[in-house]
Amino acid sequence: MARTVIIEEHGGADALALVDRPVGEPGQGEVRIAHKACGLNFIDVYQRSGLYPLQMPAALGMEASGVIEAVGEGVKHLSVGDRAAYASMPPGAYCEARVMPAAQVCKLPDEISFEQGAAMMLKGLTVQYLFHRTTPLKAGDTVLFHAAAGGVGLIACQWARSEGIRLIGTAGTDEKCALALAHGADACINYRTEDWAARVQELTDGAGVDAVMDAVGADTFEGSLDSLKPLGMMISFGNASGPVPPFNIGLLGPKGSLKITRPTLFTHIADHQACQDMAAMLFDKVQSGAVEIKISQRFALEDVAEAHRALEARKTTGQTILTL
């Protein structure tokens, strides 16, 4: 049996319940992993609330680290006793142990702690696809990154710095802006006190940015389009302020023949080898010191509702984990 966080209906943080569930044995292509720590991400809130509907009852959580306890037939890249970490479908990472598909579970280098592994996989792999698999970016390019002091944002700031890409961030307080700057952002705009879209134009001498990376959604969408240079790429990869409403695609032409995409991590990591290669690049960034994974908040598994409330209230910065 393993303590597991579930919901029996979509709703607020009060819908989260901690129950004992049987774990079982892995089948073909599966592993059983005993968790050491679990990651907290905005997608967990979307699934809990029903923005991304789940079949009930549903276990939550997309990211964790731990030790492989058992390996099913056909699994070649993992062995019993391996340290491992993952960001993966299906949900169910908020637990002490689980049986799950092995393809997206990655062997965790000894130099990276379990807590770092639990905090970095979903966010770090997201940054990897944003910078390397979504649109061509090179040293000297400029990107606008919303929520630059969040979990994905602080990794993105460091990643951009390591590759000579200029990152202009936005955040909701001066303290969060300072944090983004300390992690490598070239500039960071407090969107509560400044007209951030106008400021982006000032910072780029009216040219605009090569790409916008936007997980905020409804509140920033229009200004993000106006921040792009001609032929720029709008990457809308989240909905923290709510989903982007329908819009007239014809607007992209007069705004500069703009491009737009709405990617998800799970499309990019669906292929086993692609996932492992992306993770290898992420691990290299961390092991080289180019990207530092700092745990800013820790909540016990039984305090998961409190963790969700803090995340939704934007009271967190950087990486947050659930401890076991």
Domain assignment present for 129:
no
Structural domain range at position 304:
2-123+266-323
Q: Using CA atoms, how far apart are residues 115 and 323, in angstroms rounded to an integer?
A: 8
Number of folded domains in the chain?
2
Domain assignment present for 128:
no
Domain assignment present for 30:
yes
Q: Is the same domain home to 141 and 248? A: yes
Q: Is the same domain home to 253 and 211? A: yes
Q: For the whole model, what pTM was predicted? A: 0.93
Q: Is the same domain home to 281 and 219? A: no
Q: With contact defined as beta carbons under 8 Å apart, do 191 and 161 qualify? A: no
CATH code where residue 183 lies: 3.40.50.720
Q: Is the same domain home to 34 and 97? A: yes
Helix extents (H) in the chain: 42-49, 114-132, 151-162, 174-182, 196-203, 221-226, 265-268, 272-288, 304-312
Per-residue pLDDT in tens (0 to 9) along the chain, 324 residues: 999 999 999 999 999 999 999 999 999 999 999 999 999 998 999 999 998 999 999 999 999 999 999 999 999 999 999 999 999 999 999 999 999 999 999 999 999 999 999 999 999 999 999 999 999 999 999 999 999 998 899 999 999 999 999 999 999 999 999 999 999 999 999 999 999 999 999 999 999 999 999 999 888 999 999 999 999 999 999 887 888 889 999 999 999 999 999 999 999 999 999 999 999 999 999 999 999 998 989 999 999 999 999 999 888 887 899 999
Q: Using CA atoms, how far apart are residues 164 and 162, in angstroms rounded to an integer?
A: 6
Which residues contact residue 256 at a Cβ distance below 8 angstroms, ignoring those fewer than 6 apart? 208, 228, 229, 230, 231, 232
